[in-house]
Structures are given as structure tokens and as C-alpha cells.
Amino acid sequence: MGIFRRSGPTPDPDSDPAVEPSADPAAESDVEDGEPEAELGPFGPTGRPLHPIGAYFEAAFRRYGINILGYSVYTLICGLLPIGAALIVSAAAFPEWVGLFVFFFGFTLGNVLLIALTTSLVSGGGRERLNSILTTCVATGVFGAVLATLHPVVAIVFYPLIVFPPIVVASGDAEGLRALPAGWKIALRWAKRTYACLLGIFVVTAAVWFGFTIFLSPLEDGLQKQLAFAVTTFLVWPISALVFRNLYGDVTGRLIINAPPNEDAQRKALMKKRREKSKRNRVRIKKVTGEE
């Protein structure tokens, strides 16, 4: 459980720290200028103000951009599960509902494994918790497959119940099947923020799918839809995993959204240079106008 820290040294960038404590130089500048601070809230369990929903997405896109190759490899590996499930369904004469269940199980399992993996990149201890992670992911995969077999919209509505258990177990907060009710508790307690993030993911997914559908329009209709679905999944999966990982850390009070390593120091230095430049400009203006 030692992954999420309230304070401490900056982690190694290679460990993919999505979050860590920070100070906002812009806010420091406002205080120096005598401007009132912005109103705080809402508050998390530790009394610290929670970050706005947009901060989860900003941090997710930034981390994805910093390590896009690594996340692409992780997504491809986890994406082999739905691909394999689709091949099995196409090759076997399953009843329709069985075929849907097999495909959705592979799809959900690949998704939750990626979520657990991206969380383990920050938490560490993935090898020690491997059996527990696999148990939780398989159980969550079955749960998600049942919902999706009933109707994909049902799975989307209850997606928060799918996404949090692998984060909980990979964080070391619960083991095995006990991570399921622990994740559901988080989803229900923070339902408004969770569904706000889900809405944001839906908007990103729709934009990516629509863009690639148009881009692939010269292709045959069936192939166009399959490729657009595959590319959309490939791009949205890691973003979704990072967003909900950030949300979980924020509401549990152990992760604080922040810039990548060294960016705070760079921004502080930049703000200092700007203030010094502004001061020099005022001095020059006074010399030119003779106000000295």
C-alpha cells in the first residue's frame, strides 16, 4: 500500500508516476500580487481539496504522451485477449449468447488487466500480488461479460463497478475477490465524479471513433467498422485506465495530480524570469518617461 504518497521525493520517471505532490507557481504569483485565492472544494477524505475532473484527463493525456510507446505495447499485449476471443467465436459454432459471452469476456479481461498493469506501474509490488490481481481481473471479466451479454449499454452504465476492483487490488488495498466490493464501494461513494469521468471517456471515444470512421471510409463497410473499433479501443483503453487511476488516487487521498518530474521547477524558473523581465521593463519605462 506504499504506492500513493502524500509527500516525499520525486519518483523515478521510468516508474511512470502519474501523480505526486506539487506547488502551483501561478498560485504563488497570485499570493505575491495580493490577489485572493480561489475558493477550495470539494474535499477528499484527508481534508485536501479534490482536483477538478479535467485534471484527471490532463494528467492522463500527459502521461500517455510521455510514454506512448510503452502504453502502446501494454495495450497490444492486453488486446490479444479480445482478438483471440473473436477468432475463437468465428471458428466455433457457438450459440449466439455463448459467442457474445466469450468475446465480451476476452474484451473485459483485456481491459481490466491493462487497468491493473497501469496501476502497478505506480504502486509496485505487481509480482507479489500477481495471483490476487489475476483472481480479481478474471472475476471482474466474468462480471463485465455477463453485463455486456445482456446488453452493451448495461455494461457501459455499470462500467465503474468494472474499473475500480483491478485498481484496488493492484494498489494493495484488497486481495482477490475482496477487491470487488471494495471497488464497488468507491464507485458508489464517488458516483458523481466517476460518472463525470465516464462521460469524458465517452466523448473522447466518440470523437476518436468518428474521426477514424471518416478516415477509413474508402474501405468496405464491414472492414471499416472493424478497424475503426480496433483503433478506437487501442487509443482509448490506456487513457481510460489512467483517468480512473488518477481518480482513485485523488479520492482516497493518496495521489495528487501534478506535472511530470522537473516540470514544477521549470515552471517556477520561468515565472521568476517573467517577473524579473517585467521589473526590468518597468524600470526602462520609467527611464524613458523620466519618472525616476
Query: Please, which pLDDT band fits residue 266 given cuts at 50, 70 and 90?
Result: low
Spatial CB neighbours of 109, under 8 Å, sequence gap ≥ 6 = 81, 137, 138, 140, 141
Task: Check whether 27 has a pLDDT greater than 70.
Answer: no
Q: Is the pLDDT of residue 260 over 50?
A: no
Q: Residue range 175-196: average pLDDT?
A: 92
User: pLDDT, tens digit, for every residue of 219-251?
Assistant: 888 888 889 999 999 999 999 999 999 999 888
Query: Quick one: which of 73, 159, 60, 74 has its CA closest to 113?
Result: 74
CB 52 within 8 A of CB 12: no
Could you tell me the three cell numbers for 266?
A: 521549470
Confidence at residue 45, expressed as pLDDT on a 0 to 100 scale: 65
162 near 143, Cβ under 8 Å? Answer: yes
User: pTM to 2 decimals?
Assistant: 0.72
Q: What is the mean pLDDT of the chain?
A: 80
Of residues 55, 74, 71, the one with CA closest to residue 200: 55
Residue entry with cell 523620466:
290
Buried-exposed string 262-289: b where 16+ CB fall within 10 A, e elsewhere = eebeebeeeeeeeeeeeeeeeeeeeeee
Residue 284: the pLDDT is 81
Nearest to 153 by CA among 89, 198, 185, 102: 198
Most confident of 35-39, 41-45, 164-168, 267-271: 164-168
Domain locations in the chain as residue ranges = 44-258, 263-292
Q: Which residue, among 14, 57, 22, 69, has the nearest Cα to 259 in the 3D structure?
A: 22
The predicted structure's pLDDT at residue 41: 53
